Amino acid sequence: MHLHILGICGTFMGGLAALAREAGHRVTGCDEAVYPPMSDQLRALGIELIESFDPAQMALAPDVYVIGNVIKRGNPLMEALLDADARITSGPQWLAEHVLHGRHVLAVAGTHGKTSTTAMLAWILESAGLAPGFLVGGVPRNFGVSARLGRVGGSSAASPFVIEADEYDTALFDKRSKFVHYRPRTAILNNLELDHADIFADLAAIETQFHHLVRTMPASGLVVVNARDEALARVLRRGCFSRVQRFATKREEPGGLSVRGDAQAFDVLRGSLKLGRVEWDQLGAHNQLNALAAIAAAENVGVEPQAACEALGRFEGVKRRLELRGEARGIRVYDDFAHHPTAMRTTIDGLRARLEREQLAAPQGAAPRILAVFEPRSNTMKLGTMKAQLPWALEGADLAFALQGPWGWSVAEALAPMGKQAQVADSVPALVAAIAAAARPGDHVLVMSNGGFEGIHGKLLDALAARAG
C-alpha cells in the first residue's frame, strides 16, 4: 500500500509514518515546514518528504491519503482531494485498522503525563520480554525512537501495543477525539483538566470524550484511574462497563494502589501489602503516580508488580522532560515540554525538590536558584484561556521570563502580580539577553515550551559562555 500523509512532521503523524514504513508500506508525505529532527528521522526511513501542500502531489496517485488534524479546509491539496473524491482517511483510523486491530491495546490518556507514562509502560513490557509495539509523543531514552511496530500476526502471536491516547480531535472530517479509534483493552486515565480550549468549550466537553473512550472498552477490559481526580470520577459515574483499578488511593483502601516514600525511592502498595519498590532518577510526585498507573496497566497483561518496579529502576526517562541541554559558566540549562500551567508548576516543583536534596547532601553556600523561561505557544495559551494561572504556575521559580507573541493578550499584564520576579520580552534575542544578564553561577535555567522556541537553549548557552567575567 502507498500512503501519502498530509501533515507528516507532527509527532503523531511522523510516528504513524514510521510504523507504516516498518510494516512494509510505501510512505510519502508533505507538510508546511519540513525540518529536523523529524525530517531527518523520516528520510532515514526512506520516506520522501515534500515541503508544500501543492495539488500537484495528486500525481503520486497513492492508495490512500492520510490526513493529519493540522490540515484545515482551504488547504489547497485538501481541496483538490475533496474535489476529486479521492480516498482519504485519518491517522487514527488508519492506525486502528492496519496496526491496532487484533492486538491488546494499552492506551494512556489524561491531560498530563501521557508521554512519560506511555514510555514507562512500554519499557516495563519490554523488560518482561513482551516486545511491545508503541507510539509515544516523545522519544523514550530506553528505546531511542518514538514508534515501533512490535510483533505482528494473529491475535495470539501479536505483541501488545502501547499508545499515547490524545483527546485532541481526529481530523477536519472527524471531530471525535483520537483515542476513540484505538479500542483499548487496558486504558489509563491519569488526570483531567481543561486543555485544548481551541476545540473544547469547557471541562465538561472533554469529560464527554473520555466517557466515549470508556464506552469503547469491553467488559473484560481494565480502566486504570487516578482516584484523586474528581473529573475522572465524574467520567466513570456516567457509565463504566469494564473492571476498574484505582491508584493514588488512601493506603487503607483495599485493592487500590498507593506509594510510601519519597519521589525517587518508594514502595508500591496495594492496600497495606507491599508489591515492590522503585528506586530511580525520575523527579516529582507526579512521576510516582505515573509509575503506579504503568504498574497497574502492565499487571493486566501478565507482568507482576515486582518485576514492573524493577524495570522502572532502569527507566531512563523521555527526551524533553527536564532534559539537561548543557552548562556554561556554572549555569545549567534544561529543556522541558511543559506548557499547561499545572505541568509548569509540577516541573518547577520537581526540579526544586531535587535541588533541595542535593543541597542537603552536600551544602555549598546559598541554595541554587531556578530561572523559569516560558513560551505561551499551545493553542490554549495563545487564546489566553489560562493566563490568570500563570503567576501560580511560575511562583516556585526565583525568576520567571516569558516571551510575548502576537496572540492578542499581554503576558506582562498576566504576570504583573509577580512584580520584579517576572520579566517579559518580545523576541527570543531580547529574552536571551535578559536571562544571560540575570543568571549567575549555580543557577538552573528551566526552559518550558511545546515547540522549538527558536532554538533558545543553544542561543542561551552561547550567550552565557560568551559573557564577560
Are 180 and 305 found together in one domain? yes
* Residue that is written with C-alpha cell 532515514 in the block: 44
CB 223 within 8 A of CB 187: yes
Q: Are residues 174 and 269 in the same domain?
A: yes
Do both 159 and 273 map to the same domain?
yes
Task: Evaluate whether residue 33 is within a structural domain.
Answer: yes
Domain termination site, one of 277, 312, 347: 312
Q: Which of 291, 312, 333 is the last residue of a domain?
A: 312
Residues 69 and 19 both lie in one domain: yes
CATH code, domain with 387: 3.90.190.20
Structural domain that includes position 339:
323-466
Distances in Å between the Cα of 287 and the Cα atoms of 114, 190, 230, 416 are: 11, 11, 19, 31
In a domain, 317, yes or no: no
Last residue of a domain, one of 293, 312, 331: 312
- CATH code for the domain of 212: 3.40.1190.10
pLDDT of residue 383: 82
14 and 115 share one domain: no
- pLDDT given for residue 377 in this prediction: 82
19 and 107, same domain (yes or no)? no
Per the domain annotation, does 246 fall within a domain? yes
Query: Does 300 share its domain with 340?
Result: no
**Within this chain, do residues 123 and 272 fall inside the same structural domain, yes or no?**
yes
Work out the angle at residue 457's Cα, subtended by the Cα atoms of residues 456 and 459, and round it to the nearest 5 degrees.
60
In a domain, 94, yes or no: no
**Do residue 454 and residue 327 come from a single domain?**
yes
Domains contained in the chain, number = 3
Report pLDDT for 301: 97
CATH at residue 22: 3.40.50.720
Structural domain contains residue 97: no
Q: Please give the chain's pLDDT, 469 residues, in tens.
A: 999 999 998 889 999 999 999 999 999 999 997 766 677 888 889 999 999 999 999 999 999 999 999 999 999 999 999 999 999 999 999 999 999 999 999 999 998 889 999 999 999 999 999 999 999 988 898 998 899 999 987 656 899 999 999 998 999 999 999 999 999 999 999 989 877 767 788 899 999 999 999 999 999 999 999 999 999 999 999 999 999 999 998 776 788 999 999 888 999 999 889 999 999 988 888 899 999 999 999 999 999 999 999 999 999 988 877 788 999 989 999 998 877 888 889 889 888 888 887 777 666 767 889 999 999 888 778 888 888 989 998 999 999 999 998 888 999 999 999 999 999 999 999 999 999 999 999 999 999 988 788 889 999 999 999 876 5
Asked, as a colleague might, if the bond just before 36 is cis with ω within 30 of 0, I would say no
Is 125 part of any domain?
yes
User: Same domain, yes or no, for 183 and 223?
Assistant: yes
Same domain? 121 vs 256: yes
Same domain for 375 and 308, yes or no, is no
Residue 117 lies in a domain: yes
The pTM score is: 0.84
Do the domain assignments include residue 385?
yes
